[in-house]
Chain A
Amino acid sequence: AQTVTQSQPEMSVQEAETVTLSCTYDTSESDYYLFWYKQPPSRQMILVIRQEAYKQQNATENRFSVNFQKAAKSFSLKISDSQLGDAAMYFCAYRSAMSGNTPLVFGKGTRLSVIA
């Protein structure tokens, strides 16, 4: 079974600074997808960024980028120019690319605080 580990329960960052959230995963599969979800106080789950394992290039979405190290099974999220609205729980998630719609496997989350 696949597992996802987020080793930082809480992080903080100054507004306008950069922060990196860590995520490692364990799998024996070669084809899969990785995601970062944001959950603000409203509890809504918002997809931040996703990465296909077969792609070498790291995904980027505006101020959010990932550092995907497939051999090390590492998938960290970098948030640049942090804003107050970035304060939330962040979940790393894994999904198998096997046939059908496989469910997501989530890490336990990292609570990010942004200091004005």
Chain B
Amino acid sequence: DGGITQSPKYLFRKEGQNVTLSCEQNLNHDAMYWYRQDPGQGLRLIYYSQIVNDFQKGDIAEGYSVSREKKESFPLTVTSAQKNPTAFYLCASSKLGTAVDQPQHFGDGTRLSIL
């Protein structure tokens, strides 16, 4: 079955450490997104990418980095510059839509915590 796979499900980060969250999709979707979810905050956009080798910052990109070397993959690195990384991270993808809206499909998320 096609879908979006996020790994790991749970991740712990030590102070000063960079960690990378994986997001892979086999839906042949063009666009991919990373959202952060905090209690009472809803989902906020970190980064998104519409095509390979191109990505744009979202509302809360500071302390994060991404790459899009392959269409299927959009890993998110939480750097040591992100001082409050504890949150639930959701990856999503969608087809390129023009006349018809292409809904976003979501992965099951990664819970990141500080040790």
Q: Tell me which residues from 61 to 115 in chain B have a Cβ below 8 Å from any Cβ of chain A.
A: 88, 90, 92, 94-98, 101-104, 106, 108-109
- Tally of A interface residues using CB under 8 Å: 24
Are A100 and B45 CB-contacts (below 8 A) given A33-B101, A50-B103, A108-B40?
no
Cα distance, A101 to B101, chains bound together (Å)? 9
Q: Tell me which residues from 78 to 116 in chain A have a Cβ below 8 Å from any Cβ of chain B.
A: 91, 95, 97, 99-101, 103-109
Q: Does B42 contact A (CB under 8 A)?
A: yes
Interface of A, helix, strand, loop or mixed by DSSP:
loop
Cα distance, A105 to B44, chains bound together (Å)? 7
Q: Which residues of A contact B41 (CB under 8 A)?
A: 108
Q: Which A residues contact B (CB, under 8 angstroms)? A: 6, 9, 33, 35, 42-45, 47, 50, 52, 91, 95, 97, 99-101, 103-109
